[in-house]
Amino acid sequence: MVLWSGCPRASFRVSYQVSFVFLDVVRKKTTQMLYSNFIIYVFLHQVSSVVVKITAICPLSLLERVSDLLRWQQRYPSFNLPWKQNSFPLFSDSSPLYHTLKKPEPLTPQEEHDLQLGQERLWKLSEKSVQANIPLTVDAENTAIQPAIDYLTYSAAIKYNKDDNPIVYGTIQAYLKDAKERLLLATKAADKMRVPMGFKVVRGAYMSRESKLASALGYDSPIHNSIQDTHACYNDCASFMLEKIATRSDAVILATHNVESGRLAAKKALDLGIGKGNPKLEFAQLYGMSDSLSFGLSNAGFLVSKYMPYGPVDKVIPYLLRRAEENRGLLSTSSIDKELMRKELKRRLKAAIF
């Protein structure tokens, strides 16, 4: 298997990140326009999956309130949440609950109504994804709102993931100390309910924010103590999901720019006999980044997606700047990409001259 030859002429499937972060939830017209654009994009372009940010279809303040209530119920299981639907476990025993220091007020009728609207928007996107038969991946955010995001994701997965075909995918952030435990609990519950489940595995993008909040409240950071622990957790979660794919109908998107994680996962997939081109395993990188990794995996026969944000320019640029900031290390040190570009430039110059 030649993984890192990085032939730039190889083709890979492109995943457009139809990022609904750019939606204004109160402007109904925009919402409708985006639903119809969604279908047009999926069919006209070679879209392998769609990504949604729940913060775009449900108000942030409501996600905070719902997360508070879910955390309080985790602490006091008899605490009643009348609006709560069937879900998988959202917390493990070690999940941080420090965001919610006092008993939250119940949702007001208006908040319940808004939650219902958010849920219906996700259902609508899920239905469209079922029609197009492509995964709908829900992005993970910071821990203050992640319980609400997982809740909405899992309840949609229970509704739409049928017949060995996971459509709605959750996201696990391996930099969190409780990541592996929550992945185990959610997949175990999904197995029990016979719901095929998909997960995108990432390392996590809110590291400094998480550490600052925990330290301001006097708690340990929920993030692993070292980057090596995060790498180990990522590879462990990836390996766990690959083993599940080998024996069941679950699915995984390994979203990373880390070459070692890509190499390890590819090797494990081959060892487990997960066929190349198996739609239950996909690798993903951001569009314009880590092309050598994308092409290497694609050349080795795996499905690879490039994430592309979609939305108005004034909303897309700040999103891209955040990604560039987050991947600053990678941008400055991607010697493989630089080397491959140098080689390709030389090859083209030679071809032009001779």
Ligand X SMILES: Cc1cc2nc3c(=O)[nH]c(=O)nc-3n(C[C@H](O)[C@H](O)[C@H](O)COP(=O)(O)OP(=O)(O)OC[C@H]3O[C@@H](n4cnc5c(N)ncnc54)[C@H](O)[C@@H]3O)c2cc1C
Based on the shown chain and the rule CB under 6 A, indicate whether residue 294 belongs to the binding site for ligand X.
no
Assess 213 for contact with ligand X (CB under 6 A).
Answer: no
Residue placing its CB nearer to ligand X in the complex, 107 or 140: 140
Give 31 or 230: the residue with its C-beta nearer to ligand X: 230
Widest distance between CA atoms in the chain: 78
Measured from the CB atom, the residue of 62 and 207 that comes closer to ligand X is 207
For ligand X, give the closer residue by CB, 145 or 340: 145
* 309 binding ligand X? (CB under 6 A): no
Q: Which of residues 112-141 bind ligand X (CB under 6 A)?
A: 139-140
Distance separating alpha carbons of residues 51 and 136, to the nearest angstrom: 6
Tell me the residue length of the chain.
Answer: 354
Q: Does 236 bind ligand X (CB under 6 A)?
A: no
Q: What is the spatial order of strands in the sheet that 50-52 belongs to?
A: 15-17, 303-309, 281-286, 251-255, 198-202, 168-173, 136-138, 50-52
The verdict on 31 binding ligand X (CB under 6 A) reads no
Q: Which is nearer to ligand X, 181 or 326 (CB)?
A: 326
Q: Is 49 in the site for ligand X (CB under 6 A)?
A: no
Three-state SS sequence of 166-179: CCEEEEEECCECCH
Residue 177 in contact with ligand X, rule: CB under 6 A? no
Smaller CB separation from ligand X, 73 or 310: 310
Distance of alpha carbon 228 from alpha carbon 232, whole angstroms: 6
Instruction: Give every CB contact of residue 307 below 8 A, 6+ residues apart in sequence.
Output: 15, 16, 17, 51, 255, 284, 285, 286, 287
Binding residue for ligand X, selected from 60, 81, 330, 331, defined by CB under 6 A:
330
Q: CA angle, 281 as apex, 194 and 184 as ends, to 5°?
A: 45
Q: Which stretch binds ligand X (CB under 6 A): 126-134, 145-153, 236-244, 252-260?
A: 252-260
Q: Is 208 in the site for ligand X (CB under 6 A)?
A: no
Using CB under 6 A, pick the residue from 67, 129, 171, 299 that binds ligand X: 171
For the purposes of burial, counting CB atoms within 10 Å of the CB of 89, is it exposed (0-12), middle (13-18) or buried (19 or more)? Answer: middle
Q: Per-residue b/e over 295-314, b at no fewer than 16 CB within 10 Å?
A: bbbbbbebbbbbbbbbbeee
Instruction: Name which of 72 and 287 has its Cβ closer to ligand X.
Output: 287
* CA angle at 238 for the pair 191 and 85, rounded to the nearest 5°: 35
> β-pairing, 281-286 with 198-202?
unpaired
Among the listed ranges 83-91, 181-189, 278-286, 343-351, the one in contact with ligand X (CB under 6 A) is 278-286
Q: Is 175 in the site for ligand X (CB under 6 A)?
A: yes
Residue 19 engages ligand X in binding (rule: CB under 6 A): no
The size of the interface with ligand X (CB under 6 A), counted in residues, is 27
Helix (H, G, I), strand (E, B) or coil at 227: helix
Spatial distance between the Cα atoms of 180 and 282, rounded to a whole number of angstroms? 20
The smaller minimum CB distance to ligand X, of residues 3 and 107, is found at 3
Using CB under 6 A, pick the residue from 121, 224, 244, 280 that binds ligand X: 224
**Interface with ligand X, residue 223, by CB under 6 A:** yes
Report in angstroms how near the CB of residue 200 gets to ligand X at its nearest: 6
C-beta separation of 241 from 250 below 8 A: yes
List residues near ligand X by CB under 6 A. Answer: 139-140, 171, 173, 175, 202-207, 223-224, 226-227, 230, 255-258, 284-286, 307, 326-327, 330
